[in-house]
Structure 1
Amino acid sequence: MITLEAEPRRLTGKAVKQLRKQDLLPAVLYGAKTASEPIMVPLKSFKKVLAEAGESTLIALLMKGKEVNVLIHDVLRDPLTEAPLHADFLAVQMDKEVRTNVPLEFMGEAPAIRVEQGVLVKVMHDIEISALPVDLPSHIKVNLAVLLHIHDRLVVENLNIPQGVKVITPGDEVVVLIEAPRSEEELKALETAEPAATVEVMTEAEIKKKVEDEAAAATGEIKEVK
Protein backbone atom coordinates (compact mmCIF):
# COMPACT_ATOMS: atom_id res chain seq x y z
CA MET A 1 0.00 0.00 0.00
CA ILE A 2 1.16 3.55 -0.74
CA THR A 3 2.17 5.45 2.40
CA LEU A 4 2.29 9.15 3.29
CA GLU A 5 3.61 10.71 6.50
CA ALA A 6 1.54 13.39 8.25
CA GLU A 7 1.71 15.52 11.39
CA PRO A 8 -0.92 17.31 13.48
CA ARG A 9 -1.39 20.96 12.50
CA ARG A 10 -1.92 23.87 14.88
CA LEU A 11 -1.93 26.72 12.37
CA THR A 12 -5.30 27.42 10.73
CA GLY A 13 -6.89 30.07 8.54
CA LYS A 14 -4.55 32.56 6.89
CA ALA A 15 -1.71 31.41 9.15
CA VAL A 16 -1.29 28.31 6.95
CA LYS A 17 0.72 30.53 4.57
CA GLN A 18 3.66 29.86 6.86
CA LEU A 19 3.34 26.13 6.23
CA ARG A 20 3.34 26.54 2.46
CA LYS A 21 6.55 28.57 2.68
CA GLN A 22 8.09 25.50 4.35
CA ASP A 23 6.81 23.21 1.55
CA LEU A 24 4.14 21.75 3.82
CA LEU A 25 0.58 21.22 2.62
CA PRO A 26 -2.25 22.02 5.07
CA ALA A 27 -4.88 19.29 5.13
CA VAL A 28 -7.71 17.83 7.17
CA LEU A 29 -8.41 14.24 8.20
CA TYR A 30 -11.98 13.09 8.88
CA GLY A 31 -14.26 10.08 8.58
CA ALA A 32 -17.45 8.45 9.81
CA LYS A 33 -15.66 7.32 12.99
CA THR A 34 -12.81 9.84 12.90
CA ALA A 35 -13.15 13.32 14.36
CA SER A 36 -12.06 16.10 12.01
CA GLU A 37 -8.40 16.91 12.66
CA PRO A 38 -6.17 19.54 11.00
CA ILE A 39 -2.96 17.95 9.70
CA MET A 40 -0.07 18.78 7.39
CA VAL A 41 1.93 16.69 4.92
CA PRO A 42 5.16 17.30 2.94
CA LEU A 43 4.13 18.91 -0.34
CA LYS A 44 6.68 17.00 -2.43
CA SER A 45 5.57 13.65 -1.02
CA PHE A 46 1.91 14.54 -1.48
CA LYS A 47 2.39 15.38 -5.15
CA LYS A 48 4.11 12.04 -5.71
CA VAL A 49 1.35 10.11 -3.92
CA LEU A 50 -1.39 12.02 -5.76
CA ALA A 51 0.19 11.24 -9.13
CA GLU A 52 0.46 7.56 -8.25
CA ALA A 53 -2.76 6.97 -6.33
CA GLY A 54 -5.14 9.65 -7.55
CA GLU A 55 -8.30 10.06 -5.51
CA SER A 56 -9.54 6.47 -5.68
CA THR A 57 -6.65 4.37 -4.35
CA LEU A 58 -6.22 3.44 -0.70
CA ILE A 59 -3.34 5.19 1.11
CA ALA A 60 -1.79 4.49 4.51
CA LEU A 61 -1.48 7.80 6.35
CA LEU A 62 1.27 7.52 8.99
CA MET A 63 0.70 9.86 11.92
CA LYS A 64 1.51 9.82 15.65
CA GLY A 65 2.82 6.28 15.40
CA LYS A 66 -0.44 5.04 13.92
CA GLU A 67 -1.52 4.02 10.42
CA VAL A 68 -4.85 5.29 9.08
CA ASN A 69 -6.37 3.99 5.84
CA VAL A 70 -7.49 6.99 3.80
CA LEU A 71 -8.49 8.27 0.39
CA ILE A 72 -7.49 11.66 -0.99
CA HIS A 73 -11.02 13.02 -1.04
CA ASP A 74 -10.49 16.53 -2.38
CA VAL A 75 -7.64 18.80 -3.45
CA LEU A 76 -7.92 22.59 -3.55
CA ARG A 77 -5.59 24.10 -6.16
CA ASP A 78 -4.28 27.56 -6.96
CA PRO A 79 -6.33 28.79 -9.96
CA LEU A 80 -3.23 30.34 -11.54
CA THR A 81 -0.54 27.70 -11.00
CA GLU A 82 -2.72 24.65 -10.18
CA ALA A 83 -0.39 23.91 -7.26
CA PRO A 84 -2.09 22.05 -4.36
CA LEU A 85 -3.14 24.42 -1.56
CA HIS A 86 -5.19 22.14 0.69
CA ALA A 87 -6.21 18.48 0.79
CA ASP A 88 -8.98 16.45 2.42
CA PHE A 89 -8.20 12.91 3.59
CA LEU A 90 -11.17 10.60 4.18
CA ALA A 91 -10.54 7.89 6.79
CA VAL A 92 -12.34 4.75 5.61
CA GLN A 93 -13.57 1.60 7.32
CA MET A 94 -12.23 -1.46 5.57
CA ASP A 95 -15.57 -3.31 5.91
CA LYS A 96 -17.67 -0.44 4.53
CA GLU A 97 -18.14 0.30 0.83
CA VAL A 98 -17.02 3.70 -0.42
CA ARG A 99 -18.56 5.72 -3.24
CA THR A 100 -16.07 7.64 -5.32
CA ASN A 101 -15.28 8.72 -8.87
CA VAL A 102 -12.64 6.75 -10.76
CA PRO A 103 -10.85 8.18 -13.83
CA LEU A 104 -11.16 6.51 -17.22
CA GLU A 105 -7.97 5.57 -19.08
CA PHE A 106 -8.45 5.44 -22.85
CA MET A 107 -6.36 2.70 -24.45
CA GLY A 108 -5.54 1.82 -28.06
CA GLU A 109 -6.61 3.45 -31.32
CA ALA A 110 -10.07 3.56 -32.88
CA PRO A 111 -9.99 2.13 -36.46
CA ALA A 112 -12.79 4.55 -37.38
CA ILE A 113 -10.33 7.43 -37.03
CA ARG A 114 -7.67 5.92 -39.26
CA VAL A 115 -9.94 4.34 -41.89
CA GLU A 116 -12.95 6.65 -42.03
CA GLN A 117 -11.37 9.88 -40.71
CA GLY A 118 -13.86 9.93 -37.86
CA VAL A 119 -13.54 12.31 -34.92
CA LEU A 120 -13.12 10.82 -31.43
CA VAL A 121 -15.30 12.52 -28.80
CA LYS A 122 -14.65 11.68 -25.15
CA VAL A 123 -17.92 12.38 -23.37
CA MET A 124 -16.88 11.13 -19.93
CA HIS A 125 -13.57 11.19 -18.10
CA ASP A 126 -14.59 9.33 -14.93
CA ILE A 127 -17.41 7.20 -13.55
CA GLU A 128 -18.89 6.84 -10.09
CA ILE A 129 -18.43 3.49 -8.39
CA SER A 130 -18.93 1.78 -5.04
CA ALA A 131 -16.55 -0.81 -3.56
CA LEU A 132 -14.77 -1.90 -0.43
CA PRO A 133 -11.59 0.17 0.03
CA VAL A 134 -9.36 -2.80 -0.81
CA ASP A 135 -11.18 -3.29 -4.15
CA LEU A 136 -11.06 0.33 -5.34
CA PRO A 137 -9.31 0.56 -8.74
CA SER A 138 -6.99 3.45 -9.58
CA HIS A 139 -8.65 3.72 -13.02
CA ILE A 140 -10.99 1.97 -15.47
CA LYS A 141 -9.63 1.11 -18.92
CA VAL A 142 -11.59 2.01 -22.06
CA ASN A 143 -10.65 0.02 -25.19
CA LEU A 144 -10.94 2.29 -28.23
CA ALA A 145 -10.07 -0.53 -30.66
CA VAL A 146 -13.73 -1.63 -30.78
CA LEU A 147 -14.82 1.65 -32.42
CA LEU A 148 -14.76 0.51 -36.04
CA HIS A 149 -17.08 2.96 -37.80
CA ILE A 150 -18.45 6.49 -37.63
CA HIS A 151 -21.31 6.73 -35.07
CA ASP A 152 -19.95 3.77 -33.08
CA ARG A 153 -19.99 4.40 -29.35
CA LEU A 154 -19.23 2.90 -25.98
CA VAL A 155 -21.58 3.27 -23.03
CA VAL A 156 -20.88 2.64 -19.35
CA GLU A 157 -22.26 -0.90 -19.40
CA ASN A 158 -19.71 -1.79 -22.12
CA LEU A 159 -16.78 -1.13 -19.79
CA ASN A 160 -14.74 -3.95 -18.25
CA ILE A 161 -15.34 -3.46 -14.53
CA PRO A 162 -13.08 -5.22 -11.97
CA GLN A 163 -14.58 -7.80 -9.64
CA GLY A 164 -15.99 -6.37 -6.42
CA VAL A 165 -16.80 -3.00 -7.99
CA LYS A 166 -20.37 -1.71 -8.42
CA VAL A 167 -21.01 1.01 -10.99
CA ILE A 168 -23.26 3.86 -9.84
CA THR A 169 -23.21 5.83 -13.11
CA PRO A 170 -26.18 4.77 -15.31
CA GLY A 171 -25.18 2.01 -17.74
CA ASP A 172 -26.66 3.73 -20.80
CA GLU A 173 -24.61 6.92 -20.48
CA VAL A 174 -22.20 7.47 -23.37
CA VAL A 175 -18.49 7.29 -22.55
CA VAL A 176 -16.94 7.89 -25.98
CA LEU A 177 -18.18 8.06 -29.57
CA ILE A 178 -17.06 8.60 -33.15
CA GLU A 179 -18.47 11.56 -35.07
CA ALA A 180 -18.31 12.20 -38.79
CA PRO A 181 -15.68 14.77 -39.82
CA ARG A 182 -17.09 18.26 -40.23
CA SER A 183 -16.65 20.34 -43.35
CA GLU A 184 -15.13 23.82 -43.34
CA GLU A 185 -18.62 25.27 -43.89
CA GLU A 186 -19.97 23.49 -40.80
CA LEU A 187 -17.05 24.67 -38.67
CA LYS A 188 -17.55 28.28 -39.80
CA ALA A 189 -21.27 28.03 -39.04
CA LEU A 190 -20.50 26.84 -35.51
CA GLU A 191 -18.09 29.72 -34.95
CA THR A 192 -20.69 32.31 -35.95
CA ALA A 193 -23.56 30.61 -34.10
CA GLU A 194 -21.87 30.26 -30.71
CA PRO A 195 -21.80 33.51 -28.70
CA ALA A 196 -18.63 34.34 -26.85
CA ALA A 197 -18.71 33.25 -23.22
CA THR A 198 -18.68 35.94 -20.55
CA VAL A 199 -15.45 35.79 -18.59
CA GLU A 200 -15.31 36.98 -15.00
CA VAL A 201 -12.14 38.97 -14.49
CA MET A 202 -10.54 38.89 -11.04
CA THR A 203 -7.40 40.56 -9.82
CA GLU A 204 -4.56 38.42 -8.51
CA ALA A 205 -5.25 39.71 -4.99
CA GLU A 206 -8.92 38.70 -5.25
CA ILE A 207 -7.97 35.23 -6.48
CA LYS A 208 -5.50 34.72 -3.63
CA LYS A 209 -8.08 35.85 -1.04
CA LYS A 210 -10.71 33.51 -2.49
CA VAL A 211 -8.28 30.56 -2.42
CA GLU A 212 -7.22 31.31 1.16
CA ASP A 213 -10.84 31.55 2.33
CA GLU A 214 -11.74 28.26 0.62
CA ALA A 215 -8.70 26.50 2.05
CA ALA A 216 -9.51 27.70 5.56
CA ALA A 217 -13.11 26.52 5.29
CA ALA A 218 -12.42 23.23 3.48
CA THR A 219 -14.05 20.31 5.25
CA GLY A 220 -15.05 17.95 2.41
CA GLU A 221 -17.96 15.56 2.14
CA ILE A 222 -18.01 12.00 3.50
CA LYS A 223 -19.33 9.50 1.01
CA GLU A 224 -19.15 6.17 2.80
CA VAL A 225 -22.01 3.81 2.03
CA LYS A 226 -23.78 2.80 5.20
Structure 2
Amino acid sequence: MDLEITAEPRSATGKRNRQLRRTGRLPAVVYGKDTESLAIQVEAKAFDILYRAAGRTSLVKLQLDGQSKSAIIREVQRHPLSRHPLHVDFLVVDLAQEMEVDVPLVFTGEPPAVELTGGTLMTPIGHLRVRALPAEMPHEITVDVTSLVDLEASLHVRDLIIPENVHVQTDGDELIARVLPPRIEEEPEVEEVAEGEEGAEGEEGAERPEGEAQAGEGETTGGEEETAG
Protein backbone atom coordinates (compact mmCIF):
# COMPACT_ATOMS: atom_id res chain seq x y z
CA MET A 1 0.00 0.00 0.00
CA ASP A 2 1.36 3.38 -1.01
CA LEU A 3 1.62 5.93 1.76
CA GLU A 4 0.63 9.31 0.42
CA ILE A 5 -0.90 12.61 1.40
CA THR A 6 -2.09 15.65 -0.52
CA ALA A 7 -0.65 19.06 0.31
CA GLU A 8 -1.47 22.61 -0.73
CA PRO A 9 0.64 25.79 -0.70
CA ARG A 10 0.17 27.74 2.53
CA SER A 11 -0.08 31.51 2.87
CA ALA A 12 -0.85 31.60 6.60
CA THR A 13 2.16 32.17 8.84
CA GLY A 14 2.83 33.00 12.47
CA LYS A 15 -0.29 33.47 14.60
CA ARG A 16 -2.53 32.83 11.59
CA ASN A 17 -1.50 29.17 11.78
CA ARG A 18 -3.65 28.87 14.91
CA GLN A 19 -6.74 29.73 12.88
CA LEU A 20 -5.60 27.27 10.22
CA ARG A 21 -5.54 24.45 12.77
CA ARG A 22 -9.08 25.30 13.87
CA THR A 23 -10.24 24.49 10.34
CA GLY A 24 -8.73 20.99 10.56
CA ARG A 25 -5.60 21.74 8.56
CA LEU A 26 -2.02 21.39 9.71
CA PRO A 27 0.79 23.81 8.79
CA ALA A 28 3.86 22.15 7.31
CA VAL A 29 6.97 22.79 5.27
CA VAL A 30 8.65 20.76 2.52
CA TYR A 31 12.30 20.95 1.50
CA GLY A 32 15.11 18.70 0.25
CA LYS A 33 16.37 17.36 -3.07
CA ASP A 34 15.65 19.74 -5.96
CA THR A 35 13.03 21.42 -3.78
CA GLU A 36 13.14 24.92 -2.37
CA SER A 37 11.70 25.30 1.10
CA LEU A 38 7.96 25.80 0.68
CA ALA A 39 5.22 26.44 3.24
CA ILE A 40 2.38 23.94 2.78
CA GLN A 41 -0.68 22.63 4.60
CA VAL A 42 -2.22 19.16 4.92
CA GLU A 43 -5.42 17.76 6.38
CA ALA A 44 -4.82 17.03 10.08
CA LYS A 45 -6.84 13.78 10.10
CA ALA A 46 -5.11 12.53 6.97
CA PHE A 47 -1.73 13.24 8.55
CA ASP A 48 -2.63 11.31 11.72
CA ILE A 49 -3.45 8.25 9.63
CA LEU A 50 -0.29 8.66 7.56
CA TYR A 51 1.98 9.07 10.57
CA ARG A 52 0.66 5.96 12.31
CA ALA A 53 1.57 3.94 9.22
CA ALA A 54 4.80 5.66 8.15
CA GLY A 55 6.36 7.06 11.29
CA ARG A 56 9.55 8.98 10.60
CA THR A 57 11.29 6.28 8.57
CA SER A 58 8.97 5.04 5.81
CA LEU A 59 8.82 6.67 2.40
CA VAL A 60 5.67 8.68 1.63
CA LYS A 61 4.38 10.31 -1.54
CA LEU A 62 3.60 13.98 -1.15
CA GLN A 63 1.12 15.17 -3.78
CA LEU A 64 1.70 18.88 -4.40
CA ASP A 65 0.66 21.03 -7.36
CA GLY A 66 0.05 18.00 -9.55
CA GLN A 67 3.46 16.52 -8.77
CA SER A 68 4.38 13.54 -6.60
CA LYS A 69 7.43 13.96 -4.39
CA SER A 70 9.10 11.12 -2.47
CA ALA A 71 9.65 12.25 1.09
CA ILE A 72 9.91 11.19 4.71
CA ILE A 73 8.37 12.86 7.74
CA ARG A 74 11.45 14.55 9.16
CA GLU A 75 10.02 16.27 12.24
CA VAL A 76 6.71 16.69 14.06
CA GLN A 77 6.20 19.51 16.54
CA ARG A 78 3.53 18.72 19.13
CA HIS A 79 1.58 20.57 21.78
CA PRO A 80 3.26 19.92 25.16
CA LEU A 81 -0.01 18.94 26.88
CA SER A 82 -2.43 17.57 24.28
CA ARG A 83 0.37 16.07 22.11
CA HIS A 84 -1.58 17.10 19.01
CA PRO A 85 0.69 17.92 16.05
CA LEU A 86 1.30 21.63 15.51
CA HIS A 87 3.70 21.62 12.56
CA VAL A 88 5.32 19.05 10.25
CA ASP A 89 8.54 18.95 8.22
CA PHE A 90 8.62 16.84 5.04
CA LEU A 91 12.05 16.03 3.60
CA VAL A 92 12.21 15.23 -0.12
CA VAL A 93 14.80 12.48 -0.66
CA ASP A 94 16.93 11.11 -3.48
CA LEU A 95 15.76 7.55 -4.10
CA ALA A 96 19.21 6.59 -5.43
CA GLN A 97 21.12 7.84 -2.38
CA GLU A 98 21.37 6.10 0.98
CA MET A 99 20.30 7.99 4.07
CA GLU A 100 20.70 7.56 7.81
CA VAL A 101 17.76 7.58 10.21
CA ASP A 102 16.87 6.29 13.67
CA VAL A 103 14.63 3.23 13.34
CA PRO A 104 12.54 2.34 16.42
CA LEU A 105 12.89 -1.03 18.15
CA VAL A 106 9.74 -3.01 18.95
CA PHE A 107 10.13 -5.61 21.71
CA THR A 108 8.00 -8.75 21.43
CA GLY A 109 7.45 -11.82 23.60
CA GLU A 110 7.90 -12.42 27.31
CA PRO A 111 11.36 -13.19 28.75
CA PRO A 112 11.21 -16.50 30.70
CA ALA A 113 13.69 -15.05 33.20
CA VAL A 114 11.11 -12.50 34.36
CA GLU A 115 8.65 -15.20 35.43
CA LEU A 116 11.33 -17.51 36.85
CA THR A 117 13.20 -14.92 38.91
CA GLY A 118 10.74 -12.08 39.39
CA GLY A 119 13.21 -9.78 37.67
CA THR A 120 12.57 -6.79 35.42
CA LEU A 121 13.20 -6.47 31.68
CA MET A 122 15.65 -3.65 30.95
CA THR A 123 15.80 -2.09 27.46
CA PRO A 124 18.48 0.64 27.48
CA ILE A 125 17.91 1.85 23.90
CA GLY A 126 14.73 2.27 21.89
CA HIS A 127 16.09 2.74 18.36
CA LEU A 128 18.96 1.89 16.02
CA ARG A 129 20.83 4.22 13.71
CA VAL A 130 20.74 2.61 10.27
CA ARG A 131 21.72 3.47 6.70
CA ALA A 132 19.77 2.36 3.63
CA LEU A 133 18.11 3.54 0.45
CA PRO A 134 14.87 5.41 1.22
CA ALA A 135 12.68 2.72 -0.36
CA GLU A 136 14.38 -0.04 1.69
CA MET A 137 14.38 1.72 5.03
CA PRO A 138 12.51 -0.43 7.59
CA HIS A 139 9.59 1.09 9.46
CA GLU A 140 10.72 -0.67 12.66
CA ILE A 141 13.00 -3.48 13.84
CA THR A 142 11.54 -6.31 15.92
CA VAL A 143 13.40 -7.63 18.97
CA ASP A 144 12.31 -11.07 20.26
CA VAL A 145 13.12 -11.24 23.99
CA THR A 146 12.02 -14.85 24.55
CA SER A 147 15.68 -15.89 24.42
CA LEU A 148 16.29 -14.25 27.81
CA VAL A 149 15.91 -17.47 29.79
CA ASP A 150 17.96 -16.47 32.84
CA LEU A 151 19.75 -13.52 34.44
CA GLU A 152 22.94 -14.31 32.52
CA ALA A 153 21.31 -13.95 29.10
CA SER A 154 21.37 -10.66 27.17
CA LEU A 155 20.73 -9.26 23.71
CA HIS A 156 23.07 -6.93 21.83
CA VAL A 157 22.82 -5.10 18.53
CA ARG A 158 24.87 -7.83 16.84
CA ASP A 159 22.19 -10.40 17.78
CA LEU A 160 19.40 -8.72 15.80
CA ILE A 161 18.04 -9.92 12.47
CA ILE A 162 18.44 -6.95 10.13
CA PRO A 163 16.77 -6.72 6.70
CA GLU A 164 19.00 -7.11 3.68
CA ASN A 165 20.60 -3.91 2.33
CA VAL A 166 20.15 -2.20 5.69
CA HIS A 167 23.40 -1.23 7.39
CA VAL A 168 23.39 -0.73 11.16
CA GLN A 169 25.49 2.22 12.33
CA THR A 170 24.99 1.59 16.05
CA ASP A 171 27.85 -0.29 17.77
CA GLY A 172 27.28 -4.05 17.64
CA ASP A 173 28.26 -4.41 21.31
CA GLU A 174 25.51 -2.03 22.43
CA LEU A 175 23.24 -3.72 24.97
CA ILE A 176 19.61 -3.95 23.88
CA ALA A 177 17.89 -6.07 26.52
CA ARG A 178 18.51 -8.13 29.63
CA VAL A 179 16.63 -9.11 32.77
CA LEU A 180 17.68 -7.46 36.01
CA PRO A 181 17.42 -9.43 39.28
CA PRO A 182 14.58 -8.47 41.62
CA ARG A 183 15.27 -5.76 44.15
CA ILE A 184 15.64 -7.03 47.70
CA GLU A 185 14.48 -4.58 50.33
CA GLU A 186 16.95 -4.39 53.19
CA GLU A 187 15.47 -4.84 56.65
CA PRO A 188 16.30 -2.06 59.11
CA GLU A 189 19.23 -2.96 61.33
CA VAL A 190 18.39 -3.57 65.00
CA GLU A 191 21.09 -2.31 67.34
CA GLU A 192 22.21 -5.15 69.58
CA VAL A 193 22.85 -4.49 73.26
CA ALA A 194 26.25 -5.72 74.38
CA GLU A 195 26.17 -8.53 76.90
CA GLY A 196 26.58 -7.24 80.44
CA GLU A 197 25.43 -3.68 79.76
CA GLU A 198 21.86 -4.34 80.83
CA GLY A 199 23.03 -6.00 84.06
CA ALA A 200 25.31 -3.09 84.91
CA GLU A 201 22.43 -0.66 84.67
CA GLY A 202 20.32 -2.92 86.90
CA GLU A 203 23.00 -3.09 89.60
CA GLU A 204 23.06 0.66 89.94
CA GLY A 205 19.46 0.81 91.05
CA ALA A 206 19.36 -2.58 92.83
CA GLU A 207 18.42 -2.83 96.53
CA ARG A 208 21.28 -3.36 98.96
CA PRO A 209 21.19 -6.15 101.51
CA GLU A 210 19.92 -5.04 104.91
CA GLY A 211 22.67 -3.65 107.08
CA GLU A 212 24.85 -2.40 104.27
CA ALA A 213 25.23 1.33 103.92
CA GLN A 214 26.65 3.50 101.21
CA ALA A 215 30.12 4.81 101.74
CA GLY A 216 28.89 8.32 102.43
CA GLU A 217 26.33 7.16 105.02
CA GLY A 218 28.91 5.11 106.94
CA GLU A 219 31.32 8.01 107.24
CA THR A 220 28.65 10.37 108.51
CA THR A 221 27.47 7.88 111.15
CA GLY A 222 30.99 7.23 112.28
CA GLY A 223 31.61 10.91 112.81
CA GLU A 224 28.53 11.28 114.97
CA GLU A 225 29.62 8.42 117.25
CA GLU A 226 33.04 9.98 117.78
CA THR A 227 31.47 13.30 118.74
CA ALA A 228 29.11 11.65 121.15
CA GLY A 229 32.00 9.91 122.90
Could you tell me which amino acid in structure 2 is paired with residue 104 of structure 1?
L
- Cα distance in structure 1, aligned partners of 2:61 and 2:171: 31
Q: Which runs of 5+ in 1 are unaligned?
A: 189-226
1:81 aligns with 2:86: no
Name 2:66's counterpart in structure 1.
Answer: 65
Q: Which has the higher contact order (CA 8 A, sep 6+)?
A: 1
1:175 corresponding residue in structure 2: 176
1:14 aligns with 2:15: yes
Where in structure 2 are the equivalents of 1:78-117 lying within 5 Å? 78-117=79-118
Deviations along 1:92-149, whole A, 9 cap, x unmatched?
0100111111111111111111122221011111111110011011100001011111
Letter in 1 for 2:138: P
- Residue 42 of structure 2 corresponds to which residue in structure 1? 41
Asked if structure 2 preserves the Cα contact closer than 8 Å seen for 1:61 and 1:67, the reply is: yes
Gap regions ≥5 residues in structure 2: 189-229
Instruction: Find the counterpart in structure 2 of residue 146 from structure 1.
Output: 147
Which residue does 2:6 correspond to in 1? 5
The list of structure 1 runs, each at least 4 consecutive aligned residues, that deviate by more than 6 angstroms after superposition, is: none
- AA of the residue aligned to 2:5: L
When structure 1 is superposed on structure 2, of 151-160 and 132-141 the one drifting more is: 151-160
- The whole-number CA distance in structure 1 between the counterparts of 2:61 and 2:33 is 17
The amino acid of 1:34's aligned partner reads T
Q: Which has the larger radius of gyration?
A: 2
CA–CA distance in structure 1, aligned partners of residues 170 and 40 of structure 2: 33
> Partners in 2 of 1:123 and 1:151 — Cα distance?
16
User: Could you tell me whether the CA contact under 8 Å between 1:151 and 1:180 is conserved in 2?
Assistant: no
Please provide the CA RMSD for this pair: 1.4
Whole-angstrom CA distance in 2 between matches of 1:148 and 1:128: 27
Name the aligned partner's letter for residue 37 of structure 1.
L
Residue 185 (structure 1) shift: 3.0
State how far apart, in whole Å, the 2-side matches of 1:153 and 1:18 are: 51
What fraction of aligned residue pairs are identical, expressed as a percent?
A: 39
Q: Which amino acid aligns with 1:60?
A: K
CA drift of 1:45 comes to 0.6
**3-state DSSP of counterpart to 2:121:** strand
Distance 1:7 1:114 in 2: 53
What is the DSSP-based 3-state SS (H/G/I as helix, E as strand, rest coil) of the residue aligned with 1:50? helix
TM-score, normalised to structure 1's length?
0.80
Contact (CA 8 Å) 1:151, 1:179: kept in 2 or not? no
